[in-house]
Amino acid sequence: KIYHFGSKLGQGGFGVVYEATHIETQTKWAIKEICRPEAGSWKVKMVEHEIDILRHVNHAHIIHLQEVYHTSKMIYLVTELCVGGELKQLLLQKKFFSEDETKHIICCLADAVDYLYKRNIVHRDLKLENILVKNAIVDNNDKIIIKVTDFGLSVQTYGLGIDHILTESCGTLTYMAPEIMSGRGYSHWCDMWSMGVIIYIMLCGEPPFVSKTKSKLLEEITEKGVTFTQSVWATVSDAAKKVLTCLLNVDPSYRMSPSQLLENPWITV
Protein backbone atom coordinates (compact mmCIF):
# COMPACT_ATOMS: atom_id res chain seq x y z
CA LYS A 1 0.00 0.00 0.00
CA ILE A 2 1.72 3.12 -1.27
CA TYR A 3 -1.19 5.60 -1.20
CA HIS A 4 -4.02 6.27 1.18
CA PHE A 5 -7.20 7.05 -0.81
CA GLY A 6 -9.24 10.06 0.33
CA SER A 7 -12.32 11.78 -1.06
CA LYS A 8 -13.71 11.26 -4.55
CA LEU A 9 -12.91 14.27 -6.79
CA GLY A 10 -14.89 13.35 -9.86
CA GLN A 11 -16.08 10.72 -12.28
CA GLY A 12 -15.73 10.51 -16.03
CA GLY A 13 -16.48 8.04 -18.78
CA PHE A 14 -13.25 6.27 -17.96
CA GLY A 15 -13.14 5.97 -14.23
CA VAL A 16 -13.15 7.66 -10.86
CA VAL A 17 -10.67 10.26 -9.63
CA TYR A 18 -9.71 10.30 -5.94
CA GLU A 19 -7.61 12.54 -3.79
CA ALA A 20 -4.81 10.41 -2.32
CA THR A 21 -1.90 10.79 0.06
CA HIS A 22 1.45 9.17 -0.60
CA ILE A 23 1.98 7.41 2.74
CA GLU A 24 5.75 7.69 2.91
CA THR A 25 6.13 11.36 1.90
CA GLN A 26 2.66 12.56 3.02
CA THR A 27 2.29 14.42 -0.31
CA LYS A 28 -1.14 14.79 -1.89
CA TRP A 29 -1.99 13.55 -5.40
CA ALA A 30 -4.95 12.79 -7.64
CA ILE A 31 -5.41 9.15 -8.66
CA LYS A 32 -7.53 8.19 -11.67
CA GLU A 33 -8.78 4.62 -11.20
CA ILE A 34 -9.64 2.94 -14.50
CA CYS A 35 -11.17 -0.51 -14.91
CA ARG A 36 -8.77 -2.19 -17.32
CA PRO A 37 -10.61 -2.19 -20.66
CA GLU A 38 -10.73 -5.24 -22.91
CA ALA A 39 -7.53 -5.82 -24.86
CA GLY A 40 -7.69 -4.27 -28.32
CA SER A 41 -10.71 -2.06 -27.54
CA TRP A 42 -10.75 1.67 -28.38
CA LYS A 43 -10.79 2.42 -24.65
CA VAL A 44 -7.44 0.66 -24.23
CA LYS A 45 -6.03 2.71 -27.10
CA MET A 46 -7.23 5.94 -25.49
CA VAL A 47 -5.78 5.12 -22.07
CA GLU A 48 -2.44 4.00 -23.54
CA HIS A 49 -2.40 7.06 -25.71
CA GLU A 50 -3.00 9.43 -22.81
CA ILE A 51 -0.26 7.77 -20.73
CA ASP A 52 2.17 7.89 -23.64
CA ILE A 53 1.61 11.60 -24.31
CA LEU A 54 1.66 12.64 -20.64
CA ARG A 55 4.94 10.77 -20.11
CA HIS A 56 6.55 12.84 -22.85
CA VAL A 57 5.34 16.32 -21.95
CA ASN A 58 6.60 18.69 -19.30
CA HIS A 59 4.93 22.11 -19.10
CA ALA A 60 3.79 24.38 -16.27
CA HIS A 61 0.21 24.35 -17.57
CA ILE A 62 -0.15 20.70 -18.55
CA ILE A 63 -1.11 18.14 -15.89
CA HIS A 64 1.93 16.28 -14.53
CA LEU A 65 1.77 12.46 -14.59
CA GLN A 66 3.79 11.13 -11.66
CA GLU A 67 3.25 7.38 -11.83
CA VAL A 68 1.24 4.61 -13.52
CA TYR A 69 0.32 1.34 -11.77
CA HIS A 70 -1.18 -1.71 -13.48
CA THR A 71 -2.99 -4.58 -11.76
CA SER A 72 -4.85 -7.45 -13.43
CA LYS A 73 -8.14 -5.51 -13.27
CA MET A 74 -7.16 -1.86 -12.83
CA ILE A 75 -4.96 0.93 -14.15
CA TYR A 76 -4.07 3.76 -11.77
CA LEU A 77 -2.81 7.14 -13.03
CA VAL A 78 -1.19 9.28 -10.34
CA THR A 79 -1.20 12.97 -11.31
CA GLU A 80 -0.65 16.26 -9.54
CA LEU A 81 -3.62 17.36 -7.44
CA CYS A 82 -5.67 20.34 -8.62
CA VAL A 83 -7.69 21.42 -5.61
CA GLY A 84 -9.62 24.11 -7.50
CA GLY A 85 -11.48 21.53 -9.63
CA GLU A 86 -12.61 22.16 -13.20
CA LEU A 87 -12.53 25.65 -14.70
CA LYS A 88 -16.14 24.95 -15.72
CA GLN A 89 -17.20 24.80 -12.04
CA LEU A 90 -15.46 28.08 -11.27
CA LEU A 91 -17.22 29.71 -14.22
CA LEU A 92 -20.62 28.47 -13.01
CA GLN A 93 -19.94 30.07 -9.62
CA LYS A 94 -18.85 33.37 -11.15
CA LYS A 95 -21.31 33.44 -14.15
CA PHE A 96 -18.48 34.86 -16.29
CA PHE A 97 -14.87 35.97 -15.93
CA SER A 98 -13.53 39.50 -16.17
CA GLU A 99 -11.50 40.30 -19.25
CA ASP A 100 -8.27 40.44 -17.20
CA GLU A 101 -8.95 37.03 -15.63
CA THR A 102 -9.74 35.61 -19.07
CA LYS A 103 -6.55 37.05 -20.58
CA HIS A 104 -4.43 35.57 -17.80
CA ILE A 105 -5.97 32.09 -18.22
CA ILE A 106 -5.84 32.18 -22.04
CA CYS A 107 -2.22 33.28 -21.95
CA CYS A 108 -1.40 30.10 -19.97
CA LEU A 109 -3.62 27.93 -22.19
CA ALA A 110 -2.13 29.31 -25.42
CA ASP A 111 1.36 28.70 -24.05
CA ALA A 112 0.46 25.05 -23.30
CA VAL A 113 -1.09 24.55 -26.76
CA ASP A 114 1.95 26.18 -28.40
CA TYR A 115 4.16 23.72 -26.51
CA LEU A 116 2.01 20.80 -27.76
CA TYR A 117 2.09 22.04 -31.37
CA LYS A 118 5.88 22.23 -31.32
CA ARG A 119 5.74 18.51 -30.49
CA ASN A 120 3.13 17.78 -33.21
CA ILE A 121 0.41 17.06 -30.63
CA VAL A 122 -3.22 18.05 -31.33
CA HIS A 123 -5.39 17.89 -28.18
CA ARG A 124 -8.76 17.60 -30.01
CA ASP A 125 -10.88 17.98 -26.86
CA LEU A 126 -10.06 21.37 -25.38
CA LYS A 127 -12.97 22.53 -23.21
CA LEU A 128 -13.63 24.10 -19.81
CA GLU A 129 -14.07 20.66 -18.21
CA ASN A 130 -10.57 19.65 -19.37
CA ILE A 131 -8.88 22.66 -17.80
CA LEU A 132 -8.20 22.15 -14.10
CA VAL A 133 -7.53 24.81 -11.48
CA LYS A 134 -4.42 23.97 -9.47
CA ASN A 135 -5.08 26.26 -6.50
CA ALA A 136 -8.07 26.94 -4.26
CA ILE A 137 -9.76 30.20 -5.29
CA VAL A 138 -10.94 31.97 -2.17
CA ASP A 139 -11.47 35.53 -3.40
CA ASN A 140 -11.27 37.55 -6.61
CA ASN A 141 -7.64 38.49 -6.03
CA ASP A 142 -6.42 34.89 -6.21
CA LYS A 143 -4.50 34.25 -9.43
CA ILE A 144 -5.93 31.22 -11.20
CA ILE A 145 -3.31 28.57 -12.07
CA ILE A 146 -4.53 26.22 -14.79
CA LYS A 147 -3.54 22.75 -16.01
CA VAL A 148 -4.67 21.20 -19.30
CA THR A 149 -5.79 17.60 -18.78
CA ASP A 150 -7.50 14.64 -20.48
CA PHE A 151 -5.33 13.67 -23.42
CA GLY A 152 -7.40 10.60 -24.32
CA LEU A 153 -8.45 12.05 -27.68
CA SER A 154 -5.20 13.81 -28.48
CA VAL A 155 -3.07 12.67 -31.38
CA GLN A 156 0.58 12.99 -32.28
CA THR A 157 1.18 13.43 -36.01
CA TYR A 158 4.62 11.79 -36.01
CA GLY A 159 6.99 13.30 -38.54
CA LEU A 160 4.14 14.35 -40.82
CA GLY A 161 4.07 17.83 -39.35
CA ILE A 162 1.25 19.50 -37.54
CA ASP A 163 -0.61 20.31 -40.77
CA HIS A 164 -1.18 16.60 -41.37
CA ILE A 165 -4.82 16.08 -42.20
CA LEU A 166 -6.86 14.14 -39.66
CA THR A 167 -10.29 12.72 -40.46
CA GLU A 168 -11.61 11.02 -37.33
CA SER A 169 -14.59 12.87 -35.88
CA CYS A 170 -14.12 13.36 -32.15
CA GLY A 171 -14.42 15.92 -29.39
CA THR A 172 -17.32 17.67 -27.69
CA LEU A 173 -20.00 19.23 -29.90
CA THR A 174 -20.10 22.71 -28.29
CA TYR A 175 -16.34 23.09 -28.80
CA MET A 176 -16.03 21.16 -32.08
CA ALA A 177 -14.55 22.95 -35.08
CA PRO A 178 -16.78 23.08 -38.20
CA GLU A 179 -14.18 21.25 -40.30
CA ILE A 180 -14.43 18.25 -37.93
CA MET A 181 -18.25 18.30 -38.12
CA SER A 182 -18.29 18.46 -41.89
CA GLY A 183 -15.97 15.45 -42.18
CA ARG A 184 -13.78 17.28 -44.71
CA GLY A 185 -10.56 16.59 -42.79
CA TYR A 186 -8.86 18.89 -40.32
CA SER A 187 -5.54 19.67 -38.65
CA HIS A 188 -4.26 21.39 -35.49
CA TRP A 189 -6.37 24.49 -36.22
CA CYS A 190 -9.31 22.64 -34.64
CA ASP A 191 -7.76 23.37 -31.20
CA MET A 192 -7.72 27.10 -31.96
CA TRP A 193 -11.45 27.00 -32.73
CA SER A 194 -12.01 25.30 -29.36
CA MET A 195 -9.93 28.01 -27.72
CA GLY A 196 -12.18 30.62 -29.33
CA VAL A 197 -15.23 28.86 -27.86
CA ILE A 198 -13.54 28.75 -24.44
CA ILE A 199 -12.77 32.50 -24.53
CA TYR A 200 -16.33 33.31 -25.66
CA ILE A 201 -17.90 31.26 -22.84
CA MET A 202 -15.50 32.71 -20.26
CA LEU A 203 -16.41 36.27 -21.21
CA CYS A 204 -20.20 35.92 -21.39
CA GLY A 205 -21.12 32.62 -19.72
CA GLU A 206 -22.71 31.09 -22.83
CA PRO A 207 -21.37 29.26 -25.92
CA PRO A 208 -21.22 31.15 -29.25
CA PHE A 209 -23.25 28.50 -31.09
CA VAL A 210 -25.93 26.20 -29.67
CA SER A 211 -27.80 23.42 -31.43
CA LYS A 212 -29.06 19.96 -30.60
CA THR A 213 -27.53 18.19 -33.58
CA LYS A 214 -24.22 18.34 -35.40
CA SER A 215 -25.81 19.25 -38.76
CA LYS A 216 -27.89 22.09 -37.24
CA LEU A 217 -24.85 23.41 -35.35
CA LEU A 218 -22.74 23.36 -38.52
CA GLU A 219 -25.51 25.23 -40.35
CA GLU A 220 -25.65 27.90 -37.62
CA ILE A 221 -21.86 28.36 -37.65
CA THR A 222 -21.55 28.64 -41.43
CA GLU A 223 -24.62 30.82 -41.98
CA LYS A 224 -24.60 33.10 -38.93
CA GLY A 225 -21.03 33.42 -37.81
CA VAL A 226 -20.08 34.70 -34.37
CA THR A 227 -22.26 37.44 -32.81
CA PHE A 228 -21.99 39.49 -29.62
CA THR A 229 -25.60 40.12 -28.64
CA GLN A 230 -25.62 39.55 -24.85
CA SER A 231 -25.52 42.78 -22.82
CA VAL A 232 -22.19 41.83 -21.21
CA TRP A 233 -20.40 42.32 -24.55
CA ALA A 234 -20.90 46.08 -24.23
CA THR A 235 -18.24 46.00 -21.49
CA VAL A 236 -15.78 43.82 -23.46
CA SER A 237 -13.00 45.42 -25.51
CA ASP A 238 -12.99 45.48 -29.31
CA ALA A 239 -9.59 43.77 -29.18
CA ALA A 240 -11.19 40.73 -27.51
CA LYS A 241 -13.99 40.62 -30.08
CA LYS A 242 -11.43 40.85 -32.87
CA VAL A 243 -9.56 37.83 -31.44
CA LEU A 244 -12.82 35.88 -31.21
CA THR A 245 -13.84 36.75 -34.77
CA CYS A 246 -10.44 35.49 -35.90
CA LEU A 247 -10.46 32.23 -33.88
CA LEU A 248 -14.11 31.45 -34.68
CA ASN A 249 -13.57 31.74 -38.42
CA VAL A 250 -15.07 28.85 -40.41
CA ASP A 251 -11.94 28.85 -42.58
CA PRO A 252 -9.13 27.35 -40.44
CA SER A 253 -6.42 29.16 -42.42
CA TYR A 254 -7.68 32.50 -41.06
CA ARG A 255 -7.35 31.48 -37.41
CA MET A 256 -4.33 32.63 -35.47
CA SER A 257 -1.81 30.18 -34.06
CA PRO A 258 -1.18 29.98 -30.30
CA SER A 259 2.06 31.95 -30.69
CA GLN A 260 0.23 34.66 -32.69
CA LEU A 261 -2.42 34.80 -29.97
CA LEU A 262 0.31 35.27 -27.33
CA GLU A 263 1.68 38.21 -29.35
CA ASN A 264 -1.76 39.73 -30.00
CA PRO A 265 -2.35 43.24 -28.53
CA TRP A 266 -5.36 41.88 -26.60
CA ILE A 267 -2.94 39.75 -24.56
CA THR A 268 0.15 41.98 -24.56
CA VAL A 269 -1.28 45.46 -23.97
Binding site feature residues for ATP: 32
Residue 99: which residues within 8 A CB-CB, separation 6 or more?
Answer: 203, 236, 237, 240
Tell me how far apart the alpha carbons of residues 116 and 99 are, in angstroms, rounded to a whole number: 25
**Which one from 114, 125, 142, 150 is the annotated catalytic residue?**
125
Tell me how far apart the alpha carbons of residues 105 and 195 are, in angstroms, rounded to a whole number: 11
Question: Alpha helix locations (H) across the chain?
Answer: 42-56, 87-94, 99-118, 178-181, 189-204, 214-224, 238-247, 258-263, 265-268
Contact 194, 116 (CB under 8 A): no
Q: Residues forming the annotated binding site?
A: 32
Annotation says 114 is catalytic: no
Contact 32, 14 (CB under 8 A): yes
Q: Which residues are catalytic?
A: 125
